[in-house]
Amino acid sequence: MPRPIRASIDLEALRQNYVIARNKAGQAKAYAVVKANAYGHGLANAIQALGPVADGFALLDLAEARALREAGLTQPIVLLEGFFEPADLADIVALGLTPTLHSEAQLTLLERAALAAPIDVMLKINSGMNRLGFAGDALGATLARLRALSWVRSITLMTHFARADDEIGISTQMARFKTFTSGLDLPVSLANSAALLRFPEAAGQVVRPGIMLYGASPMPDLHSAEALGLKPVMTLSSEIIGVQTLSPGERVGYGGTFEAPGPMRIGVVACGYADGYPRHAPTGTPILVGGRRTRTLGRVSMDMLACDLTHLEEAGIGSPVTLWGQGLAADEVATAAGTISYELFCALAARVPVRVMEG
């Protein structure tokens, strides 16, 4: 018999979350961000759910872009980090992709390529995040070089916000972007999930929703996923596989980091860090047992973790456990573990069986 742990992926929830993003976008196109294997949810699942409805897609890897094309998708596909070597450009032409240009090195490669067919490009501007992108004072010269290339069909200007999810917001970066692009009549792509939900002035012509598609909040400190109308797409579940009774002073797990303050009953769950559950999740991280809320105890092991059953008299071996997802927001688990829902989703291990549901 297989271990009872599994991840369930709700395709209808993924579609519904995209519809929320699409409605928020207004007249702009909404390109679904499906990088990192669709944030750990499975690229094939994202194709099945979003292929018929998405305006376009954004990702990183050529292999993932090829998978979208081989699945029959004809929408625009943006490569968010562009290309890395000259050979990539032949694939970009063959697959009809839109690379992001963010460096002088990429621009030089594109100039030397003499492509056989025209491509669309996104030109990334560094408005203050200071990761990728051309400096604002280089924009004019960069555009002139791009416009001189007969194989560049269209140019969309883009940037990425560093603090759309907190109290600082986007005003400083928006002001810089507007200064840099003043007088240019070009489409723009600005908004990630947080900006799309909070700052309608950032919609532009193309928005790039990511984490919100998967049912987590891009700003859990300000608005929960539930308050935003988002539905969890991934539910990680398992079962109780062992029960222990503790006397006061007895300890739980490696290092004995949790000490029972009184008589306790604990359950052992078939889930550990080798399944993708965060090892650093402390005692008190919320989980559900039999649909009722309780907490983890002690250190997370490779294949198991412990939880408190003291107040759950009916729980025992075989009782269902929800680690995150339906009934327990991944954002809440992530916050307790000192991380973000993105990491929980992307860390799901290959050994965890996945069940795909249509709703």
Q: Model confidence over 316-327: pLDDT tens digits? A: 999 999 999 999
> How far is Cα 174 from Cα 226, in angstroms, rounded to an integer?
28
pLDDT at 179: 96
- Which tens digit of pLDDT belongs to each residue from 3-30? 999 999 999 999 999 999 999 999 999 9
Per-residue burial over 288-322, b = 16 or more CB atoms within 10 Å of its CB, e = otherwise: bbbeeebebbbbbbebbbbbbbbebeebeeebebb
Q: Give dist(CA 145, CA 111) in Å, integer.
A: 8
Asked if 157 contacts 181 with a C-beta cutoff of 8 angstroms, the reply is: yes
User: What class does CATH assign to 26-208?
Assistant: alpha beta
**Tokens at residue 78, please?**
């943006």
Q: What is the dihedral of CA 345, 350, 353, 358, to 10 degrees?
A: 50
How buried is 135 (Cβ within 10 angstroms: 0-12 exposed, 13-18 middle, 19+ buried)? exposed
Residue 1 has pLDDT above 70, yes or no: no
Percentage of the residues of the chain whose pLDDT score is greater than 90: 98
Could you tell me which of 298, 248, 293, 292 has the C-alpha nearest to residue 268?
298
Rg (CA), the chain: 23
Question: pLDDT value at position 358?
Answer: 86
What pTM was estimated for this model as a whole? Answer: 0.95
Query: Given pLDDT bands bounded at 50, 70 and 90, which one contains residue 359?
Result: low
Based on the residue annotation, tell me whether 35 is a catalytic residue of this protein: yes
Cα first-last separation, the chain: 26
Percentage of residues of the chain with pLDDT beyond 70:
99
Question: According to the CATH classification, is domain 234-357 in 2.40.37.10?
Answer: yes
Q: Summarize pLDDT for 212-271 with one digit per residue, the tens.
A: 999 999 999 999 999 999 999 999 999 999 999 999 999 999 999 999 999 999 999 999
For residue 50, is pLDDT > 90? yes
* Catalytic residue of the set 29, 35, 124, 231: 35
Residue 121: band (very low, low, confident or very high) from pLDDT cuts 50, 70, 90: very high
Residue boundaries of the structural domains of the chain: 26-208, 234-357
Mean predicted confidence (pLDDT) in 122-141: 96
Specify whether the CB–CB gap between 187 and 203 falls below 8 A. Answer: no
Q: In whole angstroms, what is the distance from residue 89 CA to residue 112 CA?
A: 11
What mean pLDDT is reported for the chain?
97
The question of whether 254 is a catalytic residue gets the answer yes
- Which residues sit opposite 56 in a β-bridge? 31
d(CA 347, CA 330): 13
pLDDT band at 2 (very low <50, low <70, confident <90, very high): confident
Burial track 248-259 (b if 16+ CB lie within 10 A, e otherwise): eeeebbeeeebe
More confident residue, 180 or 358: 180
Name the packing angle between helices 86-95 and 62-70 (round to 10°).
Answer: 20
Count CB neighbours of 107 within 10 A.
Answer: 21
Q: Can you say how many angstroms the Cα of residue 93 is from the centroid of all Cα atoms in its chain?
A: 27
Average pLDDT in the 114-124 region? 95
Instruction: Say if CB 34 and CB 58 are below 8 A apart.
Output: yes
Contact 149, 185 (CB under 8 A): no
